[in-house]
Amino acid sequence: MSEKKSFYVTTPLYYANDELHIGHAFSTLAADILSRYQRAMGRDVYFLTGSDEHGQKVEQAAKARGLTPLEHTDKLVEKFKSLWELLDISNDDFIRTTEDRHKKVVVHALNQLWEKGDIYEADYSGWYCTPCERFWTEKEVPEKICPDCKRSVQELSEKSYFFKMSAYQQKLIDHINANPGFIRPENRKNEVLGFLRQPLGDLCISRPKARLSWGIDLPFAPDYVTYVWFDALTNYISAIGYPFDMEKFNRLWPASCHIVGKDILTTHAVYWTTMLMALDLQLPQCIFAHGWWVTGEGKMSKSLGNIINPRELVARYGLDPFRFYLFREMVFGMDATYTEDNFVLRYNADLANDYGNLCQRTLPLLIKNREGIFHKKQPALPQSLEIAQMATQIKADYVEAMENFLFHDALKHIWTLVQRLNKYVDETAPWKLAKEQNFEVLDEVFYTIGEGIRFCTHLVEPFMPHLAPEFLKQIGCAEQRVSLSDLAWGQLPDGTSCTEPTPMFPRLETERIQNLKKGGKPAAEDGKKEKAAAPVKSEVNEDGLISFDDFLKTELCIARIETAEKVEKADKLLKLTVNIGSETRTLVAGIADFYKPEEIIGRQVVMVKNLKPAKIRGIVSHGMILAAATEDGGLALVSPDKLAQTGIRVK
């Protein structure tokens, strides 16, 4: 992505008018993951975030709290910083638009453009929305209602200062067309090009002090302040020394990537880029606009009471699962819906069952049978060879995804390997090899597993900076780390000794979640330093027997069949909706040869509740009902012999 020596990545500057929610945390986490990945690839990274502190909203929020604007933003900035600390954000700098180092650069830029004639004075009239701090044209507000906040707008005409944005329209279109990776993803690029098909107006950059005093004075018009975008966007160059420390500036500029949400793409892709053109500065290499996190009720907003607080989630589930979830669930660039149920499903499936369990089920066997030591063997089993080759390909796919900001794809690739490794454990059954004392093969199998854990852990580290080192410690190679760029299969040294694993991702059972929601002990002790819970016994027994604890992992419950219908073009399948007390599930069951839909509606059956959802004939089936073959070749559904409570656990 970047040919420059340095990789300079930025987040938006967050408005210092309110606390931050998961949407804001997401922009910063994306920049953090990117920074950690780039550092691990050996690049010199500079990661900037900060706060946007001027403007009417901030002024109003301060007034409401009986504080001066700066007292108000000082307090909020502390909260922002403490959130970034909690989320372990690895930024190199935090810029506040109220700092002198920033304000003097804004003044410098304003003077430059004023002298050049790119800022001019004119009358501005339009319909003004006070809460949104913006003018609308007559056409845009036929009902005199702000299209954004739906409050009424007032007609205003005043002397203003304008930036000649229109002068750069064609140059910008040409730049976008000549640089395919400049605005990403592709659909957002097309949106910007669509916007640029209309004649671009000039940008009003001033507010009279009579209406807004909380801003940066225009050096050529003392009764005016510059407002919002001209001030805030300049942070990307003011923080890195422009124009007073050009050595630093030249080392870092142009930015490798501005990460922004889709709502502020135009301001970045059009206002900012034309400002840079006017200042004769290079354009950033990439502007990436990600989508929004919404909840079941739509957009997160205080008035709807549906704000998701990142601190709560970290306290409840631990920092790394939180980071993982956000980036596994959202296709970077698209919107995603947050629900806690979905969080728990992903946690249990991907973290507890797949990644965590890979260590839990194998390392105790290594300790028991080979004194915890990995003996390096050349792969001889076809599956070991396959995994070695697969890992090399997975790394290449992962790098390709990360270089293109496809975080969800990068995680998907890692999990393909994690799941293949779990399957390999099932296929090779190391407990059997140990019983047979087939140590040659057993060592090969353990080496493949240990190497697989090490390999996946290095790849996942930018997403899970706390637990990855713990995983490496468990397999005994915390000291022999390699950089991501050098990571290759087979680097786990011969004779590496593992330690007794502690569960990193304790499974979230329904009762446990209720307890966590009530403020019980979280999965991790605190968000920053995740501590693993007490060790649990190995889940695999050499005789194929499982412990009672393991049995309890399968959640069986009583389900009541509410509806049943045939699945089109699938003779054997019925689509059922079942009531399990707390929710209604859809599932597909292969029972159509034995039961007619009307025969089973209203019946109570036993269902496996915590099975991963699967798509069957295009239907997402979430759960499995139990049945047994009858002596005459039929099928009998398993049901309670008396009426039981719907949804209750079967144990």
418 vs 74, 264, 354, CA distance in Å? 45, 37, 7
**Residue 310 within binding range of ligand MSP, rule CB under 6 A:** no
Binding map of ligand MSP across residues 43-82, x = CB under 6 A, - = no contact: ---------x------------------------------
Count of residues touching ligand MSP (by CB under 6 A): 19
Q: CA 244 from chain center: how many Å?
A: 36
Considering only residues 205-244, where is the footprint of ligand MSP by CB under 6 A? 232-233, 235
Going by their DSSP bridges, the two strands 6-15 and 257-261 should be labelled as parallel
**Residue 260 within binding range of ligand MSP, rule CB under 6 A:** yes
Q: Which residues contact 378 (CB under 8 A, 6 or more apart)?
A: 444
At closest approach, how far in Å is the CB of 275 from ligand MSP?
11
Going by the DSSP 8-state scheme, the letter that residue 166 receives in this structure is G
Bridge partners of 152, per DSSP, are: 145
Bridge partners of 332, per DSSP, are: 334
**Residue 261 within binding range of ligand MSP, rule CB under 6 A:** yes
Going by their DSSP bridges, the two strands 183-184 and 221-226 should be labelled as unpaired
Bridge partners of 158, per DSSP, are: 124
CA distance 225 to 212: 7
**Residue 292 within binding range of ligand MSP, rule CB under 6 A:** yes
- Contact segment (CB under 6 A) with ligand MSP among 11-19, 311-319, 390-398, 460-468 equals 11-19
* Residue with smaller CB distance to ligand MSP, 26 or 253: 26
Residue 51 region by backbone torsions, left for phi larger than 0, else alpha for psi between -120 and 50, else beta: beta
Bridge partners of 163, per DSSP, are: 119, 203
Q: E strands of 237-379, at which residues?
A: 257-261, 287-290, 293-295, 298-299, 336-337
**Residue 255 within binding range of ligand MSP, rule CB under 6 A:** no
At closest approach, how far in Å is the CB of 333 from ligand MSP?
11
**Residue 29 within binding range of ligand MSP, rule CB under 6 A:** no
Given candidates 15, 431, 489, 594, which one binds ligand MSP under the rule CB under 6 A?
A: 15
Considering only residues 531-550, where is the footprint of ligand MSP by CB under 6 A? none
Nearest to residue 96, comparing CAs of 63, 52, 133, 60?
Answer: 52
Given candidates 6, 8, 9, 23, which one binds ligand MSP under the rule CB under 6 A?
A: 23
At closest approach, how far in Å is the CB of 23 from ligand MSP?
2
At closest approach, how far in Å is the CB of 134 from ligand MSP?
13
Nearest to residue 418, comparing CAs of 352, 474, 467?
Answer: 352
Going by their DSSP bridges, the two strands 649-650 and 556-567 should be labelled as antiparallel
CA distance 35 to 287: 15
At closest approach, how far in Å is the CB of 53 from ligand MSP?
9
* Residue with smaller CB distance to ligand MSP, 20 or 119: 20
Given candidates 148, 263, 297, 427, which one binds ligand MSP under the rule CB under 6 A?
A: 263
- Contact segment (CB under 6 A) with ligand MSP among 18-26, 386-394, 442-450, 476-484 equals 18-26
Residue 600 region by backbone torsions, left for phi larger than 0, else alpha for psi between -120 and 50, else beta: alpha
At closest approach, how far in Å is the CB of 325 from ligand MSP?
14
- Contact segment (CB under 6 A) with ligand MSP among 22-30, 486-494, 553-561, 635-643 equals 22-30
274: part of which helix (H) or strand (E)?
helix 273-278
At closest approach, how far in Å is the CB of 283 from ligand MSP?
15
CA distance 212 to 223: 10
**Residue 14 within binding range of ligand MSP, rule CB under 6 A:** yes
Bridge partners of 128, per DSSP, are: 135, 154
CA distance 339 to 287: 28
At closest approach, how far in Å is the CB of 489 from ligand MSP?
37
* Residue with smaller CB distance to ligand MSP, 119 or 289: 289
**Residue 322 within binding range of ligand MSP, rule CB under 6 A:** no
Site residues for ligand MSP per CB under 6 A? 12-15, 23-24, 26-27, 52, 232-233, 235, 260-261, 263-264, 292-293, 300
